[in-house]
Amino acid sequence: MAKHRRDATSAGHRRRIKAHLKSSKAGLAPGSLQYVGATDPLPTLATLIEFGQDDGDFLETKFTALEQGRDFKPTYSNYWLNLHGLEDLAQLKLIGKRFHLHPLVLEDILNTQQRPKVETYPGYLFITARLMFLDEFGSVDSEQISLVVGRNFLLTFQEKPTGTFAGIRESLRNGESQLRKFGTDYLVYALLDKIVDRYFAVLEQIGERVDELEDEIIEQLNPDQMQEVQHLRRSLQALKRGLWPLREVINVLQRDDADFFKDETQLYLRDAYDHTVQLIESVEALREAVSGLQDIYLALQSQTMNTQMRTLTVFTIIFSPLTLIAGIYGMNFEFMPELHWRWGYFAVLALMGVLGCGLGWFFWSRRWIDAV
């Protein structure tokens, strides 16, 4: 990961942390709605889908502004109202009034740093979840999805259009699909299942990055890698923070004390619950893998040090005696018989050669010299 990219990642991380911490400051004066998020809110765009069990019972309406008088007399038995963008507070208030939403629900919809949760209100369930994705720097980011689940209606609120639910909308248009037959409670399951699937996708990408990083570490140590290990750890922690409460949400829905879900749908929710458990295990496995990366990094760092130390020691041991010998025969004593021998010089050179090679061979045979 290039330095530039890492810095950007880090900046993104900090922006999110701040948004997360600021998120509940608006908690003071209930009633005064205000958007809280890491970025500015997008313009509001609503889609209303009404459908029944019969083939043609389907009506889709898009609009940007809700008229005051509109009272949602639905054409068909079930309807799903989806909002992209949370800029238009007036419209939100209108919807809140129409569906008798509690002020705290509207507040939580606007406060986009919620922890996933499910809350029972008279006549509806309020669910928040987080849609995970990797931003352009490979960092885990998330968007809030809020769901209001009534007896035969479903309201969803998203920060921005992501295309995640396009397939579901397509399925709804098909009169034969299970979605049409099973009603809004099954639709809730389908949306949650999509959200769970996004975790699989994000986790897979992180898993690949862990593998790549392991290869990079083994090939060539680099202090940036240690930072990326920490970065991956933070990403996995962010996923964990989204997953644990999501599991609880689905668990609560599956038990369904408030009786919003049909028995059949509850079986599907149990399946989604199993998937979150499996995801949690994968997150834990990756967390251990990342810990292992750190251990490998530190062991290799120490290994490098050992190799250098060995090289230094070997060189010092080989050259110290040779230099001493040269120094001895460089002394200026008057009576040094060897100096006058005919082959003295060559003998000393030979001695040095033998000594040097001997020590070299000694260390080589002990495999001390292999990494220079």
Residues 246-285 that bind a copy of itself (CB under 8 A): 267-268, 270-272, 274-275, 277-278, 281-282, 285
Cα-based distances in Å from 132 to 206, 235, 237: 12, 11, 13
Q: Rounded CA gap, 358 and 364, in Å?
A: 10
Point out which residues pair with 49 in neighbouring strands.
Answer: 60, 80
Q: Which of 95, 129, 149, 196 is close enough to bind a copy of itself by CB under 8 A?
A: 196
Which stretch in 46-54, 73-81, 140-148, 300-308 sits in contact with a copy of itself by CB under 8 A?
300-308
Residues 40-99 that bind a copy of itself (CB under 8 A): none
DSSP SS3 for 87: coil
Q: Which of 5, 25, 62, 100 is close enough to bind a copy of itself by CB under 8 A?
A: 25
Residues 163-192 that bind a copy of itself (CB under 8 A): 167, 171, 178, 190
Residues 113-172 that bind a copy of itself (CB under 8 A): 113-115, 117, 119, 167, 171
Nearer to a copy of itself, 67 or 219 (CB): 219
Q: Does 357 bind a copy of itself (CB under 8 A)?
A: no
Name the token pair of 57.
Answer: 């019972």
Please report how close the Cβ of residue 69 comes to a copy of itself at its closest, in angstroms: 27
Q: Which of 79, 124, 153, 297 is close enough to bind a copy of itself by CB under 8 A?
A: 297
Point out which residues pair with 149 in neighbouring strands.
Answer: 125, 154
Residues 204-243 that bind a copy of itself (CB under 8 A): 204, 207, 211, 214, 218, 223, 226-227, 229-230, 233-234, 237, 241
DSSP string, 292-356: HHHHHHHHHHHHHHHHHHHHHHHHHHHHHHHHHHHHHTT---S--HHHHSTTHHHHHHHHHHHHH
* HSE toward the beta carbon, residue 274, CA cutoff 13 A: 6
Give the containing element (helix H, strand E) for 139: none
Nearer to a copy of itself, 98 or 234 (CB): 234
Please report how close the Cβ of residue 93 comes to a copy of itself at its closest, in angstroms: 16
Bridge pairing between strands 45-51 and 140-149 = unpaired
Q: Does 30 bind a copy of itself (CB under 8 A)?
A: yes
Name the token pair of 173.
Answer: 């248009």
- Return phi, psi of residue 60, to 5°: -120, 125
Which stretch in 50-58, 87-95, 144-152, 291-299 sits in contact with a copy of itself by CB under 8 A?
291-299
Q: Which of 45, 89, 258, 322 is close enough to bind a copy of itself by CB under 8 A?
A: 322
Total residues at interface with a copy of itself (CB under 8 A): 115
Please report how close the Cβ of residue 51 comes to a copy of itself at its closest, in angstroms: 17
Residues 323-352 that bind a copy of itself (CB under 8 A): 323-324, 326-336, 338-345, 348-349, 352
Please report how close the Cβ of residue 36 comes to a copy of itself at its closest, in angstroms: 11
Nearer to a copy of itself, 83 or 348 (CB): 348
Among 145, 98, 143, smallest CA distance to 124 is for 98
What is the 3 state secondary structure string of 165-221? CHHHHHHHHCCCCHHHHHCHHHHHHHHHHHHHHHHHHHHHHHHHHHHHHHHHHHHCC
Name the token pair of 301.
Answer: 């760092």
